[in-house]
Structure 1
Amino acid sequence: MADRGSEASWDERYTEREALWGDGPNRFLIEYLSDLPHGTALDLASGQGRNAIWLAEQGHSVTGVELSGVATEQARA
């Protein structure tokens, strides 16, 4: 395995598991942020996009930033 925090390491993790962090958005987002007015969100370490997708579905303009190219492609699919 590549260095733990490297792009190659994250690519490997995302290749091995279909939904590394789960299928739906983080419960914190749903519980605490669902009532926010529409705005702009920056999702750092966005992984497969589960939180960014949910935020966009709520009407926010979202930019996701992710080190892993594999995860980015999975988020776009």
Structure 2
Amino acid sequence: MTNIDKRNRLDESPFTYRVSKNDTVFIDFKGKLVKTLKGKEAEKILIKIRSAANEKELQLILAKITGNFKRGNERI
């Protein structure tokens, strides 16, 4: 896991998630919504999220789910 987060950005916990009543998952990056998951995809992700051993692993799971949404020129 040391090679994955070389700049230690996940230590700041930039990702958060919320789950609605109908099991829709909302993933935020620094307070802004970046991804919404529904249905079977949301169920799979909730299983992964709940099995995370620690906060850094949770942050890595959320980062992988969101994919490559930042290009470097965003002001967040």
Provide the TM-score with structure 1 as the length reference: 0.24
Question: When you count strand as a share of all residues, which structure comes out higher?
Answer: 2
> More relative contact order in 1 or in 2 (CA 8 Å, sep 6+)?
1
Bigger Rg, structure 1 or 2: 1
